[in-house]
Amino acid sequence: MLVFRVVLPTQRGCLKQTEIATCTGEDCVHCNTADLCNDAGSPKHLCAVCSSLADPNCLANPSSLTPVQCPSPSNVDLTAAQCYSRVIGTVTERACVTSQSDVDRCTGLDCATCTGSGCNRLEFPTNRIQCVQCDNADSCNTDAASSAYCDDVEDVCVTMRRANGNVMKSCKNKMVAADLAYCLANPSQCNYCGKKLCNSVAFSAGATGKSCYQCEGSDCLKSSAKLVSCQLTDDDCYSMFSGCKYMEEGL
């Protein structure tokens, strides 16, 4: 017999046949499959468990994933964290929190925990870079129907006009070497942007990034700050302040 409080086991033991009727629902489960069979986790502790290396939907369509029952936890407060999502390099992973070390390792912007059944089946990170993806089709220049998440959360989108006039749209890091070389040799034929689905607009040979002041500390006076051009067409300018002092401006 296992009795749970929320998703934490509060009681385990032997269950008499006359007591089976009292152990029902998700708060109490019983088993008779083998010795020590009552070491399972709570039926309420369900998470998506996957890697984008094996399952593309782990990145592309997490809401389609079927959550699975998690193993029994040890030395962790599951009322605070039950599932996690993380990105390691270009790989997206989702799994159960079963120990305090799972929580301790989940730090920074590339990992997040959550509570609730199947809670880690959402886009991660929120507003992850996603680009229109098409090549050479007549409608590619204005078509925003086909899109894909970029494997690398730091990637950007590109719209490239080939020498024959055809347009290609993609995540930059998915471009083949020949296309990357073409953009280096013909920068006016490649538009780069960094916001979600930003390359859904038509190619523009005149697209340029904003101009921003760039400086730091006492140099942040318009008379001495230098001007720079942003690399991406949708980059913003920023200013940082510390107290009442002008500290930094830039891309």
Residue 119 has pLDDT above 70, yes or no: yes
User: Is there a contact between 2 and 38 (Cβ–Cβ < 8 Å)?
Assistant: yes
Collapsing DSSP to helix, strand or coil, 132 comes out as strand
Kindly state the tokens that stand for 249. Answer: 């401006």
The confidence score (pLDDT) of residue 79 equals: 81
pLDDT value at residue 152: 96
CA 100 to chain centre: 22
**Helix and strand numbers, DSSP H then E, in the chain:** 3, 19
Closest CA to 82 of 93, 94, 65, 90: 94
Query: 151-195: per-residue pLDDT in tens?
Result: 999 999 999 999 999 999 999 999 999 999 999 999 999 999 999
Question: What pairs with residue 85 in β-bridges?
Answer: 94, 112
Instruction: Give Cα separations from 151 to 91, 120, 155, 163 (angstroms).
Output: 7, 18, 8, 28
For the whole prediction, is pTM greater than 0.85? no
pLDDT at residue 3 is higher than 90: no
The pLDDT value recorded for residue 245 is 52
What is the spatial distance between Cα 89 and Cα 110, in angstroms, rounded to a whole number? 9
pLDDT of res. 251: 59
The Cβ-side half-sphere exposure at 90, using a 13 Å CA radius, reads: 11
Neighbours of 140 (CB within 10 A): 19
Please tell me the predicted confidence (pLDDT) of residue 244. Answer: 54
Domain boundaries, given as residue ranges, for the chain:
24-114, 130-193
pLDDT-derived band at 142 (thresholds 50, 70, 90) equals: confident
Tens of pLDDT along 8-30?
556 777 866 666 666 766 667 66
Which amino acid is residue 151, in one-letter code? D
Handedness of CA 161, 164, 170, 176 (dihedral sign): negative
Tokens of 40: 């399972």
Answer yes or no: are the C-beta atoms of 209 and 232 closer than 8 Å.
Answer: yes
pLDDT in tens, 192-227: 999 999 999 999 988 888 999 888 877 787 666 788
